[in-house]
Amino acid sequence: MDTPDKTQITPTSSLSKFEDSPVFKYIDSLSPIELAKSRQSDNVFSSLAFLSPSSLFPSPQISCHRESRFLVKRHHFSAASNSRVLQSGNESNTSEGGSKAVEQSDLYDENLGFLNNDSSSKGISSDLLDEQLDLVTELPRTLKYDCGSPDGNLEPCDEMFKNTSVEVAGQERSPFQRNRDEWEERQQSFQNERDLRKICRIKWSEESAGGVAIVSDVADMLTMNSSIIHENTDGQDMRTADSGTTSFISTMLQFPLDNANNLENAESGDPSCSCKQSEFGEPVTDQTPGILSTCLLDKLVVSDSGLKKDDKGEKCNQSSHQRSIRRRCLVFEKSPGFGLHLNSLPNIPKGQNPLSKSTLSSMKRGEIPHDKRTVVTENSSETPATFGGNEADDNSPEKKRQKFELDEESAACKRCNCKRSKCLKLYCDCFAAGLYCIEPCSCQDCFNKPVHENVVLETRRQIESRNPLAFAPKVIRSTDRISDSWGETNKTPASARHKRGCNCKRSSCLKKYCECFQAGVGCSPSCRCEGCKNSFGRKDGGDESESDGEDLEACERNASEKKSHDIVINKDEEYPDLSVASSDISRLPFAYSGKLAGSFSHSIRSSPQLCTNQENGSLSDSSLCQPKFDSHLQAIPEDEAPEVLKHKCLPPVQKPTSPNCKRVSPPHRECSSSAAWRSRKLILRSVPLPSFSPP
């Protein structure tokens, strides 16, 4: 910034264009751009470094995602000029692209109440434009995540943004101001709608090789979210925003797995990946899109708070997306714990919550890709033909199964039938799932409705105080690589076990009375069943191979037929210390939701609001938090995620390190210098996140 060149080469409104011009090239060849560029780059990043890394990246997971995001984005910036976001900038109208970036920046500042474009807006070397623009585009969006961190530290992010983007923003702002209002207005008007759409779009994006294509949308969402947070000044809204953010983060932490799974499927030509091929045709190793999709989903909940209304009128056939989101929102934002929302979605009875199949499809990359089918189906209406890349193999068994399940789910639309519990006990599937009862329910004297929100929450609180794991996922899905207490039986992607184990006496674990059987998982040593004949695997280590192939399919179908409750990814492999515990819970490193904080949970824990319910939980329990998934939302088998992604996505440590349930950023997350930043970016590609060793 202090280089003479910066003043000499004043950026114009179309810097990118200038850059491409012969004159520019000529100047470039003459000027000591190399040095200036190097310094400038460092300065840019140094400005970032000035901020406390911890403040900027309070969440290791978030940082991880952001960084990976950077990697991908930068990659595409340089290599892919046809990305949707940047295409304008890389095509004939380069200034446009830069302008958009600036616009984003401006909007971002405005949303945050910071308009600080006058500082150092002239000290920029033209040859840095590409990088500047890159940063301008990346940082604002990327930093949004940080802004939405549980810590709620928005300013650092903003500062960071200012330091990096202000220079350009200050110069090109005016030409785009007129578009800003329109843009913002559009955001407000179609916020919810967009959220929904974006979920699908991002879903596609997360699975698309391009990844960059969705940056714009994501940025919009992020900006919008930020705006929401700031605009809502009352405690209620603020709280909601925080909650949403927290959830969003928690989801972010979780979704990498999904993404990883997606990647794998994409590479294998999975039908569900039909719309995830990018124009570049290269797989995305960045889980950010996936994260975003999830984030958006959660964010929807937050932003949807204003739309909160009685679900009673909701019909199964109604706009499934919106309704589902609303339902989720209701539970989610108000829930004292996170057992609701994500954790509960899985339990949504078939056909009850269509959204769960679409929006949440991204969450249910379980052993079966049917979720993806859902995604494709849901996106089909909104996903442009261009999104379609790798056409699905409609004839694949997974596809068939998915269709089967979809039809099955669509056909049914029932919910609880409680008569005496008022739907305020775990007997009630809706309540247990963290959902309000809706019309399809046949319950009587139901209190599990928005109008009784306080009662619901209080009851839930009580239940959780009694049993922190009450709303925890009931099924743990482990990886085939894991050699856990279940031994060799745990070798298939579908391998999973009931967290607590069943206690069947007469059903021989061959009927749905048995939760293990119902979930389509084999019994484990944790089960206290008698005469176990579970076809999915006997607790004595019996034949689980049956769960493979057709039996597996039947199993999963069975699970999907009913609430298969929550399936949790067993992260034993990465958290062996937690995986071998004798108790079921201890076997769930980050399984669970209500109280347990797992790999995902950290994010959850990061929310003060959400943490309140975890007070009673032990440390280990807290570390096991994880959203639960129903049969349709089964967690992604770890084994299905590429190694790199797994490491990348999975939070390094799920153990709570902060008394107040907040995660403590690992040292390696800190970037004290631009060099570190850069090197870290490189390292992130190859170094598994679980390793806390700094670059």
**What's the CA gap between 211 and 533, in Å, rounded?**
46
Check binding of 532 to DNA (CB under 7 A).
no
With CB under 7 A as the contact rule, the residue among 504, 552, 569, 641 that binds DNA is 504
Check binding of 25 to DNA (CB under 7 A).
no
Check binding of 580 to DNA (CB under 7 A).
no
CB 349 → DNA: shortest distance, Å? 8
Check binding of 463 to DNA (CB under 7 A).
yes
Check binding of 365 to DNA (CB under 7 A).
no
CB 511 → DNA: shortest distance, Å? 4
Q: Please choose, from the candidates 228, 222, 114, 116, the residue with its C-alpha nearest in 3D space to the C-alpha of residue 169.
A: 116
With CB under 7 A as the contact rule, the residue among 119, 419, 458, 691 that binds DNA is 419
CB 419 → DNA: shortest distance, Å? 4
Distance of CA 593 to the CA centre of its chain: 15
CB 279 → DNA: shortest distance, Å? 45
CB 423 → DNA: shortest distance, Å? 7
Give residues with Cβ within 8 angstroms of 371, minimum separation 6.
272, 357, 360, 361, 362, 363, 364, 365, 402, 632, 633, 634
CB 630 → DNA: shortest distance, Å? 12
Q: Between 63 and 631, whose beta carbon lies closer to DNA? A: 631
Structure-token pair, residue 594? 């209500």
Structure-token pair, residue 677? 């930043």
Q: Between 289 and 440, whose beta carbon lies closer to DNA? A: 440
Torsion angle of C-alpha atoms 108, 114, 117, 120, degrees rounded to 10? -110
CB 418 → DNA: shortest distance, Å? 3
With CB under 7 A as the contact rule, the residue among 9, 136, 355, 418 that binds DNA is 418
Map 116-140 to HEC letters: CCCCCCCCCCHHHHHHHHHHHHHHH
Q: Please choose, from the candidates 149, 148, 153, 124, the residue with its C-alpha nearest in 3D space to the C-alpha of residue 136.
A: 124
Q: What are phi and psi of 337, to 5 degrees?
A: -120, 175
Number of residues binding to DNA, judged by CB under 7 A: 38
Check binding of 511 to DNA (CB under 7 A).
yes
Check binding of 428 to DNA (CB under 7 A).
yes
Q: Which residue carries 């400005």 as its tokens?
A: 47
The residues that bridge with 477 in the sheet, in sequence order, are 496, 569
Check binding of 586 to DNA (CB under 7 A).
no
- Which among 88-96, 412-420, 482-490, 569-577 is the span making contact with DNA, rule CB under 7 A? 412-420
Site string for DNA, 434-453 (x = CB under 7 A): ---------x----------
Check binding of 406 to DNA (CB under 7 A).
no
With CB under 7 A as the contact rule, the residue among 32, 505, 540, 615 that binds DNA is 505
With CB under 7 A as the contact rule, the residue among 215, 345, 470, 567 that binds DNA is 470
With CB under 7 A as the contact rule, the residue among 21, 38, 92, 503 that binds DNA is 503
Q: Where do runs of H (alpha helix) occur along 369-482?
A: 370-380, 397-411, 429-432, 453-466
- Which among 244-252, 359-367, 415-423, 587-595 is the span making contact with DNA, rule CB under 7 A? 415-423
Check binding of 116 to DNA (CB under 7 A).
no
With CB under 7 A as the contact rule, the residue among 312, 512, 557, 681 that binds DNA is 512
Residue 612, exposed/middle/buried by CB under 10 A (0-12, 13-18, 19+)? middle
CB 475 → DNA: shortest distance, Å? 12
- Which among 108-116, 287-295, 334-342, 413-421 is the span making contact with DNA, rule CB under 7 A? 413-421
Check binding of 476 to DNA (CB under 7 A).
no
Q: Please choose, from the candidates 663, 544, 547, 536, the residue with its C-alpha nearest in 3D space to the C-alpha of residue 599.
A: 663
Strand arrangement, sheet containing 567-569: 496-498, 475-477, 567-569
Structure-token pair, residue 159? 């500062």
CB 631 → DNA: shortest distance, Å? 11
Check binding of 506 to DNA (CB under 7 A).
yes
Q: Between 321 and 563, whose beta carbon lies closer to DNA? A: 563
Q: Any idea what the Cα angle at residue 547 is, between residues 545 and 548, rounded to 5°?
A: 75
Check binding of 429 to DNA (CB under 7 A).
yes
Check binding of 514 to DNA (CB under 7 A).
yes
The 10 Å Cβ neighbour count of residue 234 is 8
CB 465 → DNA: shortest distance, Å? 11
Check binding of 535 to DNA (CB under 7 A).
no
**What's the CA gap between 518 and 598, in Å, rounded?**
24
Give residues with Cβ within 8 angstroms of 686, minimum separation 6.
644
**What's the CA gap between 276 and 223, in Å, rounded?**
24
Check binding of 618 to DNA (CB under 7 A).
no
- Contacting positions for DNA (CB under 7 A): 416-423, 425-429, 432, 443, 463, 466-467, 470, 474, 500, 502-509, 511-515, 518, 529, 562-563
